[in-house]
């Protein structure tokens, strides 16, 4: 009987000690550096170690596949179909040429013209440029996350053990740690901004507000184990400007805001998000809109213009794509933010998908599921480039300016510059695009027809 008592207290003691140690570690290595904006470099070491392990894992899978003499599943981002490089005119002329042997200068409608559109239609049914952009970019090496592996049957015992160990670490060690950090970060943000909100307006309030915001965002960055490399920091956005970036996930906000002090723009949500938003606006003039106001474009433009014209106000952070894209391309920028007439500071964000896929497919996952996936990935590795500021030239309109900014961002981030509208994920194509292709073909036929009837 005497043996039981010390055993019980031993367990309790051990538990107490481990929790204390954990929290001390947390405080010293994560929270304190976050407050002061310093880094020990632990995450970089972590990243390098992981890379070595992933390389080893990929080699094992390849070896396993070679032994069994099977091809590996290799996903293709560039599509599966070889598209013909010829234009509409060239193709139709070629078909007609090979046909009736008529002179080429008597073009009129031919039975064979239908064939070009038919084939193009089947090609898009087989493989579509736009829909590809919206599913998570497919990886070429395995990063020990089962959700990204299609070659399961080639995994040896050693690899399975490693994967199991990885899963244990991610779910039982990293996840609780990250949740604790996130909780700390968010509650500090809410209480900090509320407290600062009670101070009278002035330099002191601004200083404190800036540092409360930065500190909490840094804690959140560590909560996701985000390893960010900032490039060209001398181009960081200044007061009175608009910061424009490509959008892959809600995490983009945290990444940018942990390196600079921005005024956010957005719609007021309910729930936890709403609480955070309402607290933040007490300390710093963020621009939040009610749901009904968002539809009114003039109202939105007016408020934003007022904000940027006040030079003492912070730069606004806007994501003009309007929705999350899977980080292989940049889609059409909505022209609203480019009409305001302020200096635009473009920022390119590129995620490295090897450690964890940051893309939020909002039609597939809800916000909570998405956050859980993020927190059980190894890390989020990304690069941020601050591009030199751009202003609208007198001879270009808002759309052209938006496209110019978009190209600059795409080029810097190594992303493909697409003309497509990101809103396509949910809506249907606008009719104006449909007309272009049809006009081209009918111009070919009718233009020539008119020439003939005239002669």
| Positions that interact with other proteins (CB under 8 A) | 55, 58-59, 61-62, 65-66, 71-72, 74, 76, 78-82, 95, 98-101, 108-115, 117-131, 140-141, 150, 420, 424, 428-429, 433-439, 441-443, 445-446, 449
Listing DSSP states for 233-278 in one string gives GGG---TT-EEEE--S-THHHHHHHTTS--EEEEEPPSHHHHHHHH
Measured from the CB atom, the residue of 130 and 162 that comes closer to other proteins is 130
Closest CB to other proteins among residues 29, 433: 433
d(CA 254, CA 261): 11
Q: Smallest distance from the beta carbon of 412 to other proteins, in angstroms? A: 24
Q: Which is nearer to other proteins, 72 or 294 (CB)?
A: 72
- Closer CB to other proteins, residue 119 or residue 302? 119
CB of 353 to other proteins, least distance (A): 14
Kindly provide the b/e burial profile for residues 301-325, where b requires at least 16 CB atoms within 10 angstroms of the residue's own CB.
eeebeebbeeeebbbbbbbbbbbbb
Return the H-helix or E-strand segment holding 229. strand 226-231
Angle formed by the axes of helices 175-197 and 367-375, to 10°? 120
Nearer to other proteins, 112 or 191 (CB): 112
Residue 43 exposed, middle or buried by CB count within 10 Å (0-12, 13-18, 19+): middle
Which of 291, 430 has the CB closer to other proteins? Answer: 430
Distance, CA of 399 to CA of 382 (rounded, Å)? 29
For other proteins, the closer of residues 13 and 146 by Cβ is 146
For residue 357, the minimal CB distance to other proteins (Å) is 18
CB of 49 vs other proteins, minimal distance in Å: 15
- State the minimum distance, in angstroms, from the CB of residue 85 to other proteins: 12
Nearest to 403 by CA among 388, 386, 420: 420
The least CB distance from residue 120 to other proteins, in Å, is 6
Rounded least distance, CB 169 to other proteins, Å: 23
Query: 416: which 2 tokens?
Result: 């493909």
């Amino acid at each position: 009987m005497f043996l039981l008592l010390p055993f019980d207290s031993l367990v309790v003691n051990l538990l107490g000690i481990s929790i204390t140690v954990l929290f001390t570690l947390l405080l010293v290595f994560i929270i304190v550096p976050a407050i002061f904006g310093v880094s020990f470099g632990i995450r970089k070491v972590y990243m390098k170690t992981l890379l070595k392990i992933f390389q080893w894992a990929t080699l094992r899978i390849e070896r396993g596949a070679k032994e069994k003499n099977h091809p590996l599943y290799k996903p293709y981002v560039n599509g599966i179909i070889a598209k013909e490089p010829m234009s509409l005119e060239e193709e139709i002329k070629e078909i007609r040429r090979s046909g009736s042997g008529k002179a080429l200068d008597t073009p009129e409608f031919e039975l064979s013209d239908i064939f070009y559109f038919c084939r193009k239609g089947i090609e898009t049914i087989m493989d579509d440029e736009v829909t590809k952009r919206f599913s998570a970019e497919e990886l070429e090496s395995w990063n020990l996350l089962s959700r990204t592996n299609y070659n399961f049957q080639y995994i040896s015992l050693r690899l399975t053990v490693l994967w199991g160990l990885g899963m244990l670490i991610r779910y039982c060690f990293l996840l609780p740690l990250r949740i604790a950090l996130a909780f700390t970060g968010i509650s500090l943000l809410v209480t900090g901004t509320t407290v600062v909100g009670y101070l009278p307006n002035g330099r002191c309030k601004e200083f404190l507000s800036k540092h409360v915001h930065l500190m909490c965002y840094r804690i959140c960055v560590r909560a996701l184990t985000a390893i960010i490399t900032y490039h060209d920091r001398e181009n960081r956005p200044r007061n009175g400007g608009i910061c424009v970036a490509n959008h892959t996930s809600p995490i983009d906000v945290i990444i940018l805001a942990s390196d600079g002090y921005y005024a956010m723009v957005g719609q007021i949500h309910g729930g936890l998000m709403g609480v955070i938003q309402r607290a933040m606006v007490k300390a710093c003039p963020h621009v939040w809109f009610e749901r009904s106001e968002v539809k009114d474009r003039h109202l939105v433009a007016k408020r934003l213009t007022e904000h940027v014209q006040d030079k003492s106000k912070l730069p606004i952070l806007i994501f003009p794509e309007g929705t999350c894209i899977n980080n292989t391309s940049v889609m059409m920028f909505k022209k609203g933010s480019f009409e305001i007439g302020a200096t635009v500071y473009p920022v390119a964000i590129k995620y490295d998908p090897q450690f964890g896929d940051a893309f939020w497919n909002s039609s597939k996952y809800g916000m909570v599921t998405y956050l859980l996936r993020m927190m059980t990935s190894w890390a989020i590795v990304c690069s941020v480039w601050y591009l030199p500021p751009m202003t609208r030239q007198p001879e270009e309109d808002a759309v052209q300016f938006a496209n110019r900014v978009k190209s600059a961002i795409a080029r810097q981030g190594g992303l493909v510059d697409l003309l497509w509208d990101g809103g396509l994920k949910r809506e249907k194509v606008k009719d104006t695009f449909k007309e272009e292709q049809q006009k081209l073909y009918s111009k070919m036929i009718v233009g020539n027809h008119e020439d003939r009837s005239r002669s």
